[in-house]
């Protein structure tokens, strides 16, 4: 379990840091070039995509922290994680469609 927590916290940190850099610092070069191709409003796209990646990192971090609390069943923690990831994925698809006209 400790290996899972370590790995998920590293993954959460990567998403939080990259999301923050894209959102607050405007580092849209961290997003794959293909995804930016055809986007007219790079700043708006970067802001929304950065917020989504930041939120994904927070969801993963919360899931990791919840695993340390013995009163929380694993099924509940995993369910919350899956729900959060699905919501972020929907937002990412909507952002892609809004700014580039395609879903991927």
Beta strands of 1-98 (E only): which ranges? none
Give 15's contacts (C-beta < 8 A, 6+ positions apart): 53, 54, 56, 57, 60
Does the reported pTM lie above 0.85?
yes
Domain span at 36: 2-100
Both structure tokens of 74: 């694993």
DSSP structural state of residue 41: -
Domain count of the chain? 1
Both structure tokens of 56: 């994904």
Both structure tokens of 51: 């917020």
Q: What's the pLDDT tens digit per position in 12-49?
A: 999 999 999 999 998 988 887 666 777 888 899 999 99
Q: What's the pLDDT tens digit per position in 77-102?
A: 899 999 999 999 999 999 988 988 87
19 neighbors 50 (Cβ within 8 angstroms):
yes
């Amino acid at each position: 379990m400790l290996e899972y927590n370590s790995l998920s916290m590293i993954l959460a940190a990567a998403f939080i840091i990259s999301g923050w850099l894209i959102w607050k610092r405007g580092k849209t070069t961290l997003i794959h070039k293909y995804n930016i191709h055809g986007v007219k409003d790079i700043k708006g796209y970067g802001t929304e995509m950065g917020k989504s990646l930041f939120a994904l990192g927070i969801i993963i971090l919360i899931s990791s922290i919840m695993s340390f609390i013995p009163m929380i069943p694993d099924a509940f923690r995993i369910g919350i994680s899956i729900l959060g990831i699905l919501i972020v994925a929907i937002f990412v698809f909507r952002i892609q469609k809004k700014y580039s006209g395609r879903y991927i």
